[in-house]
Amino acid sequence: MEGRVWNFSAGPSTLPLPVLEEVQRDLLNYGGTGMSVLEMSHRSKTYGGIIGDAEATLRRVLDVPSNYSILFMQGGGTGEFAAAYLNLFASRAVREKQRRLGRPLACDYLVTGSWSKLGKQEVERLGGRVNVAADGAASGYAGIPPAAEWTLGAPDETAFVYYCENETIHGVEVPPSAVVDAVDPSVPVICDMSSNMLSRPVDVGRFGAIVAGAQKNMGPAGVTVVIVRKDLLERDEGDADVTRALPSVLDWSYYDRAGSMPHTPPTFSIYVCGLVFRWAEQQGIRELARRRAARARLVYDEIDAHPAFFRGRVDPACRSEMNLVFNLPTPELEATFLAEAAERRMVQLKGHRSLGGIRVSLYNAMPLEGAEAFAAFMRDFYARHGPQEKD
């Protein structure tokens, strides 16, 4: 669309153009109601249809089993660091296991980058007993330790295993099924899929819960999706310790009973998410997975062609197809790269403030043409700024 840029932001990220156009058409008068979704009551029949359709569509797209609940919450991925821990330790299944053990259960964490590290630290802050089963710190989070080196706790002493499937800052993505294949089936696996949810098929039935901020592949900022197995929502309701320790705003069971609306939800964000879910269903989840691989390949081919110039930081075995990170030989060249990219209407490419460099985020809504344009720019930049061959 004329006037729009190639937006490579890590989040909030680009949205599908057809979705934005539908939002624009309906902004002032949704469905003939004479009002915007921004204005309508979340208790109205119309909005009930909007949130119900959003949930049903996501369930179809990801083939979510019937014994899982889908919740729309707030607080982002950061809120779910605490929520995952508090809800699992409030669940009847985990509490019964802990009673049998006679001491607090451990929480296993795979630390593969900044977000999983922050999740671990939040549980430690809340007093949880954390077992770091694997930590990529020694490599600067440039890879994932092999599963043979993980130190997972004994199943009867472990409440859950937690990991982040795609680290947006470090550009590391855990291969599909790598964690659930390594974990005893009796231990729930909790996965943060904030930045790759909806980009490829996922076997939901192998997880205890999946949590994801929407602002990468699913919609605008302001809503968090939680997909949780229903048995983990069962509680010993008479236990006062459970209700005191778990704020209502983080309580998955409370949200489940109220259909994600115990209070006013982020209505407009959920509405836009529903449109994105419908768009994803029209594309097909396998087609979205094919496109994500094709986009990433275009950029990684340029990195691999000139590794001394486009300096990739991640082990190729676990390079993210969502967030591609690299450095140039000098900070001055990186500044020139960003400036010239902006002149070509390619924006939001600066790496995270903690690492610097370049970060190219290629979420679902980025057309293949955007990745092609960026790869062409990389080739041109190398031709002009790379090492000059001597005659």
The overall average pLDDT reported for the chain is 95
pLDDT digits (tens, 9 = 90+) for 366-383: 999 999 999 999 999 999
Would you place residue 256 in the very low, low, confident or very high pLDDT band (cuts 50, 70, 90)? very high
pLDDT value of residue 250: 95
Q: For residue 351, what are the CA distances in angstroms to 196, 296, 323, 358?
A: 18, 17, 10, 4
Give the tens place of pLDDT for each residue, 93-110.
Answer: 999 999 999 999 999 999
Q: What is the mean pLDDT of residues 278-286?
A: 98
Q: Is 231 a catalytic residue?
A: no
Q: Is the pLDDT of residue 180 over 90?
A: yes
Q: Which of 115, 150, 252, 279 is catalytic?
A: 115
- For the question of residue 192 being annotated catalytic, the response is yes
Distance (Å, whole) CA 75 – CA 337? 35
Residue 365 above 90 pLDDT?
yes
Query: Where is pLDDT greater, at 390 or 200?
Result: 200
pLDDT at 2: 75
Query: Does 284-385 carry CATH code 3.40.1190.20?
Result: no
Global confidence as pTM: 0.96
Selected catalytic residue, list 6, 108, 120, 192: 192
Q: What DSSP letter does each residue of 121-139 carry, written as one string?
A: HHHHHTT--EEEEEE-GGG
Mean pLDDT of 145-149: 93
The residues spanned by each domain of the chain are 17-282, 284-385
Average pLDDT over every residue of 164-179: 95
Helix (H, G, I), strand (E, B) or coil at 324: strand
Q: Which of 97, 117, 120, 216 is catalytic?
A: 216
Do domains 17-282 and 284-385 share one topology? The answer is no
pLDDT at 238: 63
pLDDT band for 223, please (50, 70, 90 cuts).
very high
- Percent of the chain topping pLDDT 90: 93
For domain 17-282, the CATH architecture is 3-Layer(aba) Sandwich (3.40)
What does the alpha-carbon distance between residue 373 and residue 356 come to, in Å, rounded to a whole number?
Answer: 22
Q: What is the pLDDT of residues 232-248, one digit of tens each?
A: 999 986 666 666 779 99
Do the beta carbons of residue 124 and residue 130 sit within 8 Å? yes
Task: State how far the alpha carbon of 229 is from the alpha carbons of 211, 270, 345, 372, in Å.
Answer: 12, 21, 44, 40
State the pLDDT at residue 391. 40
